[in-house]
Structure 1
């Protein structure tokens, strides 16, 4: 991969996009309220993320893949997302996303927003219906930090020229690994530990922080 001047790694849900995608999918199964409460606890860091994700995904069993069209129609990019990605590219940077969410959604949303590289969990399906399982190793806090380091190496970007942007407890290791950790639309624990806190829900506010 070509060298880059810097690397920006976004969380997806409630950061690059306004939604928590697992809640949108759970709505298709009539279980949105229960899954939303469990997601909130995971983002506050009250429960183990991987265990929480597996239990939440179990609630998605039986959702047909055809309903993902409806889910995608409800996904809203965060205000300023396109402007920030465009600014990253203008300045010679790479825009990346690592998510505890799902490739099934991110594979559509990320390229539309101009993201260069992304990584997320995958849902298992059988006969075009979700089984309620996650395929392979779950991308958790450690997985997010590992992705940031891997992409920095691939693009020959020093750690001090990396930026991580997130909102939940599972973003803290990634933010700690980065040269600059930005809390965006974030939970209190994340705001306390971040290098910078962005209050307005507008990703264009991050542009002045770019190298």
Structure 2
């Protein structure tokens, strides 16, 4: 039995979809390794390298960053244009807005509720003595985990797969886009645009509102 009930489910990626930033690059700036990590992130989003392997390598660059850096990173977050209007419209039509991210709970736990997101899932960064260790705590949220989250949340809300929408930009979003009734490439890499059901060009989530049930 579903835990709650909704008319439909929308699942968004976080970095470069819900928000304009790539959070791991903002964190890497704190370690003076922003450019290096940005290049690795771009390769991962294109699908050139395995996401989980790439994430572990990029998180390693964060070793020693103080936990106090989270507040500075949150202050730099730039929500995607139209995100609040989009989520408000999802709710007005009886839907659930969710986010599943290869990024980090330490940032998303503040950002997601501030934008009206109903539920979210992301990676967690291991910490010791007030600083990051350079390792991910627990299982990595990769492409398979994103698709599994969409299915889990749909089941919980009593929403059939045909009434789900997945919105993302990177290669690690492709599995959840394939699992959804509608897969939308938003601000997306070429490989994602080629395989999506629909492509939204302008970086404004209000342009996705006409696709809502």
Per the alignment, residue 115 of structure 2 pairs with 113
The residue that corresponds to 2:51 in the other structure is 49
2:83 match: 81
Partner SS, residue 68 of structure 2:
helix
Indicate the residue corresponding to 2:179 in structure 1: 177
User: Cα distance, 1:2 vs. partner?
Assistant: 1.6
Query: Which aligned segments of 4 or more residues in structure 1 are displaced greater than 3 angstroms?
Result: none
Q: CA deviation at 1:87?
A: 0.2
Matched, 1:30 2:41: no
> Cα distance, 1:67 vs. partner?
1.2
Question: SS of 1:95's equivalent?
Answer: strand
Q: Choose the corresponding residue for 2:139, options 131, 137, 143.
A: 137
How far off is 1:168 after superposition?
0.2
Q: C-alpha separation between the residues in 1 aligned to 2:99 and 2:130?
A: 27
Residue 147 (str. 1) matches residue 179 (str. 2): no
Cα distance between partner residues in 2 of 1:108 and 1:69 = 10
CA RMSD of aligned residues (A): 0.4
Tell me how far apart the structure 2 counterparts of residues 51 and 35 of structure 1 sit (CA, whole Å). 13
Moved more, 100-109 or 64-73: 64-73
- What is the CA–CA distance in structure 1 between the aligned matches of 2:32 and 2:191, rounded to whole Å? 31
Q: How many residues align?
A: 211
Displacement of 1:68 in angstroms is 1.1
Q: Distance in 1 between matches of 2:130 and 2:158?
A: 40
Give the superposition deviation at 1:169: 0.2
- Of residues 143, 164, 167, the one that matches 1:165 is 167
2:128 is matched with 126
Alignment of 1:64-79 (within 5 A): 64-79=66-81
Rounded Cα–Cα distance in structure 2 between residues aligned with 1:176 and 1:83? 26
TM-score (norm 1): 1.00
Q: What does residue 8 of structure 1 align with?
A: 10
2:65 aligned with 1:63: yes
Which residues of structure 2 form unaligned runs of 5+?
none
How far has the Cα of 1:155 moved from its partner? 0.3
Q: Distance in 1 between matches of 2:29 and 2:148?
A: 31
- Which consecutive unaligned segments of at least 5 residues does structure 1 have? none
Aligned residue number for residue 91 of structure 1: 93
2:158 is paired with a residue whose SS is coil
Partner of 1:199: 201
